[in-house]
Amino acid sequence: MPKIKTHSGAKKRFKITGTGKIKRRHAFCSHLLEKKSEKTKRKYEVPANLAPGDKKTVKKLLGI
């Protein structure tokens, strides 16, 4: 049986923490930033944790 390849898009977008959580970047922070408040833009800088419902799917894409 061949090895399962890692999904190329997923490996660029998600990182696994040491405790097994999956980090992702926020949406809405790449363009159209003039109309957003500074507080909102600072909030988007911090990586977010993946929702529990998506964890199974992303782990499968990453080959974990």
Structure-token pair, residue 32: 């159209």
Using a cut of 0.85, tell me whether the model's pTM lies above it.
Answer: no
Q: How far apart are CA 11 and CA 59, in angstroms?
A: 10
Q: How far apart are CA 29 and CA 41, in angstroms?
A: 7
Domains and CATH numbers, the chain: 8-59 (4.10.410.60)
Q: Under 8 Å CB-to-CB from 62, ≥6 apart: which residues?
A: 6, 7, 10, 11, 14, 16
Look at residue 19 in the predicted model and tell me its pLDDT.
92
Tell me the average pLDDT across 34-51. Answer: 95
Share of the chain above pLDDT 90, in %: 89
